[in-house]
Chains A and B, each alone.
Chain A
Amino acid sequence: MILSTAYENLCMSIKTIIFAIILHSILLTETIADNLQDQLPSNSCSAGNMITPEPCFTGSVSAGGSGNEQGFRNYGITQFYALNWPWLEGSAGVPNIKTTPKGDQISVWQTWRTKSSLYSHKENHKHPSLPKNHQSFIDNHADVPYSKHIEFLQNTSLPTGDDQKLIDQTDNPIYFQIHMNNVAYQDLMKAKKKNKVNVTLPYVEFTVGSGDIIRGAIFVKSAWRIITNMKTAHAKMYHRSFACIEDKGANTTECKMEVVGLVGLHIASKINPISGFSYKDCNKTEGKETCLNKNAIEWSWSSFEFIYNAPVVRNEKDLNNVEKNAPWGLFNTGEAVEKQIRSNCFDKKGVLQLSKQHCTLNDFDSNKKEAATIIRFMSDNRNYKPENLDAKVCRDPVEPLSSLDYSTCNIITAYSEKEESVWKNYRFIDVQWIDQLGSINPEYTSKQPDQTIIRNTSLEPYSRIKTVDNSGCVNCHRNAVKTDAIFSIEDLPKPNSNNGE
C-alpha cells in the first residue's frame, strides 16, 4: 500500500515535470516567436552583414553608415537576406532560425499580411475560392516550395496608370502583390481606433525603425510571372510559389492554380531616423527640389529583380551582344523585333535614344496585346551589366568592380557558396534614400535616362524619358502626401484582418 502510494506519487511527479517541460517549451516557443516576429537582433537571432545571410536585421541605418551609399546598400542587402529567410511554418512573419536558406523555400515576407487581406470586406479584394483540384495540382508539382502557403494574385495593373499591364514572353500578364509587416499593420489599426467614426484615411505616420530595438514599417511589392509550363531547368532558376490566380472576366468564384516565379521585388522601409534635414525654409523657397522630398525623408527603397528579366542595351554593340539563348522573360530576341530596334532606337553613333518616335523599347501600347520588349537600364555607377555578374566574375573580376557592382555581388556569392539557393539569380538594382541635405541619393549627373533612372524592369517597365517624378522610387513616392509616402493604402482596413495565411 505504502509502495503503491509512493509509486503513484512518483508517477504524478514525473507527469508534473513532463507537463511543466511541455508548458515551458510552448511558452518559450511563443516568446521566441513573438520576439522573432519583427526579426530584430536578439540572443536567439543574429543580425547578418552583407557577406553572411542571417534571419534578423537592425531597425535602422545608423552611425557611420547613416549618410552614405555604402551604409544603405549594406542595410538593403542584410534586409533582403532576412526577409527572404525561410519562414517558420504556421507562424506568419516568423523566420525559422533552425534552418538556413538552401534551394527554394517560402520567404518570411510572403507570409505577411497582403493588401488584399486588409480590404477583404470589399468586393474587389475578396479572395476567390481555391479550386477543388488544388491539392492534386500541388502534388503534381512536388519540387515547388509549398509549406502550406499559396499566393492569391489578381492585380495586373502598373502604378503608371491607364490600366497599363506588362505582358511577358509567354503572353501572360505579370501579377503584382503588396505585403506589409506587422508594424505597418499595427500603425494602421491604431489610426483606425483613433478614427472610429470616419473610414476615410487620416494621415498615418508609420513607425520609423531605430537601432536594435525598434522595427519600422516595411512594405514589400512583388511581381510574379506564370511559369507552370516552363522548362524545368529554367523554372528552377526562379523563386517559385504556388498561386491561385483570379480571372476577373471568368464566370466563376474559383481561382486557377498556377506555379509562379518571382521577377521583381521592391522593399520600402522606414529606417532613416537621423536624416537631420530642416524643412523650416521650405515655405519660403517654393519649388526647391529638396523640399519636395519632405514626405519621404525617413523612408528608403531597395529594388531587386530576376537576372533574366531583360538585358542591358545602351547601344547597338550591346544589342549585338545580347545572349539570344538566355530565357529572357520580358525581352523578345526574335529577328523581327531586333530589326525594329536596330532601325528605330539608336542615333547615328549607335547610342540608344528611347525617345525616338518609332522606338518601341519600354513602350506601352494599349492597342497591342502582345509581349512587351523591355530593356534593363544600367546606371553610370556600375562597371558590369547586372546579368553579366555571376559567382566567378564576382570572385575574379577582369575590370574592377564598382561599389554598386560589389554590393550586387554580395547576394550572388552569399547564395552560391556552401548551400546554393535560387536567390543567387536575383540582382540588386540599388537603394534610394534621402541625405541630411534633403537630397535623393545616389546622385547622378549623366543626362542619359538609361544611366540615371533607377527602375525595376518588372515593376516600372515603361520608363523612357527622365522626368522630375520618374527617376526613382523617392521621386514618385514623395507625391503620396496623404499617406506617408505609401500609395497602396487606400483607406483604413477592416479590424481583425487575417494574416493572409
Chain B
Amino acid sequence: MSKQSLINDLCCMQLLYAQATEPSLRAMTNSLYPELQSKPEARKKLRDSYYIPNSKVPIRSTEVTMSKDYADNLVQISGAPAANILVNQTLGEVAYRCAFSKDRQAPFVLAAGESVPAGAPTLDEQQQQSLVLILWRLAFDDDKRQSVNNAKDKNEKSGALLDIEVDGQSLNQDTCDWLAGQLVDAKIVDIKNFLGFYLYKATW
C-alpha cells in the first residue's frame, strides 16, 4: 500500500468528520445520490464541490485532499443500487486501517459490508456520531491511537477508548467494551463490518 493510499484514507476520515458534524453538508450530499446514475453533472458536483473540498487535511505547512480517482470511487459507490453494502464495506476498510491497524497497512481480508456481527451493541444517532468523532481522533492523533492499539488487554483497550473525548462526545461503556473485545480477539472482519455499518448511517 502506497503512502498516497494512506493519505487518501486519512482524507476520507476528514470527510466523514465533516459529514457527521455539518448537517447541511450531509443533507446536501445525500440529496445528490439518487441523481448520480442519470446526471453526470451531479457526479461532478458531488466530487468537486463537496467530497474533495471537505476532505482537506493540513500536513506540515501544506494541505492535502483526496485524489480525484479516490473521490470518483466514493461517488460511484454512492450512486450504486447496492450503495448500502458498498459504502459500508469501503468505510469499514478505511476506518479500520486509519484507526486500528498498527502498521497502517490495509488488512488483506475484506469485509462483506452486509451486516453487523451478532451481539454487537446498537448505536443510537448520538453514539453513531460519537463513533465517527472517536475514529477521526484515532486516525490523526498518534498518541491516542498507540494507547488503544498498544493496550495489553480488553480492559485497558476499553479504558483507552473511553478516555477519548471529541467535541464533548465519547463512546459509551458497552461500545468500548465490545470494540476492545473484538480487537483483542483480532476479529478484524467483524470490526470492519460494525464500523462500516454505523459510519455509513452516521455520515452518508
Contacts and interface: CB of A to CB of B under 8 A. Distances in A.
Interface of A: 49-51, 58, 62-71, 73-74, 211-212, 274, 276, 380-381, 400-407, 410, 435-437, 439, 441-446
Contact of B82 (A70, A274, A441): A274
A65 B30 contact: yes
Contacts of B21: 400
Interface in B89-144: 114-116, 122-127
A437 B115 contact: yes
Contact of A436 (B26, B27, B77, B114): B114
Contacts of A380: 124-126
Contacts of A381: 124-126
Contacts of B40: none
B200 A67 contact: yes
Nearest to A66: B84
Given A70-B30, A74-B30, A402 B125 contact: yes
Interface of chain A, helix or strand or loop or mixed? loop
A405 B129 CA distance: 15
Nearest to B202: A68
Interface in B33-87: 33-34, 36-38, 77-85, 87
Q: Which 6 A-B pairs have the closest CB atoms?
A: A67-B84, A406-B23, A64-B33, A64-B78, A381-B125, A49-B31
B178 interface: no
Contact of B24 (A66, A69, A406): A406
A67 B83 contact: yes
A470 to B, nearest CB: 18
A445 B121 CA distance: 10
Given A274-B82, A381-B126, A443-B122, A63 B23 contact: no
A64 B27 contact: no
Nearest to B33: A64
A274 to B, nearest CB: 6
A439 B62 CA distance: 44
A74 B28 CA distance: 9
Contact of A64 (B23, B87, B124, B127): B87
B30 A71 contact: yes
Contact of B23 (A402, A439, A443): A402
Nearest to B25: A406
A308 to B, nearest CB: 25
Contacts of A69: 125, 201
Contacts of B123: 443, 445
B30 A403 contact: no
Interface string B166-204: 000000000000000000000000000000000011101
A490 B44 CA distance: 50
A403 B77 CA distance: 23
B36 A63 contact: yes
Contact of A68 (B37, B122, B126, B200): B200
A274 B82 CA distance: 8
A411 to B, nearest CB: 12
Contacts of A401: 23
Contacts of B24: 406
B122 A63 contact: no
Contacts of A70: 26-27, 30, 204
A45 to B, nearest CB: 15
A471 to B, nearest CB: 13
7 contacts: A68-B201, A70-B204, A403-B26, A406-B27, A442-B124, A443-B124, A446-B124
Contacts of A64: 30, 33, 36, 77-79, 83-84, 87, 204
A63 B87 CA distance: 10
Given A63-B81, A211-B34, A380-B126, 10 more contacts: A50-B31, A63-B33, A69-B125, A70-B27, A274-B82, A403-B23, A406-B23, A443-B125, A445-B123, A445-B124
B204 A68 contact: yes
Nearest to B36: A63
A67 B113 CA distance: 12
Contacts of B200: 67-68
Nearest to A409: B23
A30 B126 CA distance: 49
Q: Tell which of A58, A64, A400 has the most Cβ of chain B within 10 Å.
A: A64
